[in-house]
Amino acid sequence: MPQKLRTSVFACLFAVLTAGPGCSATPEATDVTHATFSSPSGCCYTPDNRPTETLVGLVASGEAGSMQVAALRARGPASLDALLARLDKATPEEKPRLRSAIDKVAAQRDADVSKLYWYTDLEEAKRVAKEQGKPILSLRLLGNLNEELSCANSRFFRTALYPNEKVSRALRERFILHWSSERAAPRITIDFGDGRKVERTITGNSLHYVLDEEGRVLDAIPGLYGPDAFLAALADAESLHDRVAMDDTDRFYDIVQRHHRARAEGLEDRWQQETAQLGFAGVPAPVPVRNPSPAAPPPATIAMGLAQPKMAVEMPVLQATKLGAVPPQPGGSKTVSGPADDNLDQLFEALATRAQPLAKLDAAGRALIERKRPMSWTNAAGPRPLEGQELDRMVAAFEKLMALDTVKNEYRFHARIHSWLATDRLDLTALNARVYEELFLTPASDKWLGLIPPEAYSAIEGDGLISASP
* Domains in the chain: ranges and CATH: 1-106 (no CATH), 113-332+340-454 (3.40.30.10)
The per-residue pLDDT for 342 is: 63
pTM comes to 0.80
pLDDT band at residue 382 using 50, 70 and 90 as cut-offs: confident
If you average pLDDT over every residue of the chain, what do you get?
A: 82
Instruction: Average the pLDDT over 258-264 and give the result.
Output: 97
pLDDT band at residue 32 using 50, 70 and 90 as cut-offs: very low
The per-residue pLDDT for 267 is: 96
More confident residue, 176 or 334: 176
Q: 434-469 pLDDT, tens per residue? A: 999 999 988 888 887 777 766 666 677 777 777 766
- Of 32-46, 219-233, 352-366, least confident by mean pLDDT is 32-46
Measured N-to-C along each axis, helices 343-355 and 249-277 cross at an angle, to the nearest 10 degrees, of 110
The percent of residues in the chain predicted with pLDDT above 90, rounded, is: 59
Radius of gyration of the chain (CA): 23
Q: 291-320 pLDDT, tens per residue? A: 455 555 555 455 544 544 544 444 444 444
More confident residue, 342 or 328: 342
pLDDT band at residue 470 using 50, 70 and 90 as cut-offs: low
Could you give the CA distance from residue 332 to residue 31 in angstroms, rounded to a whole number? 47
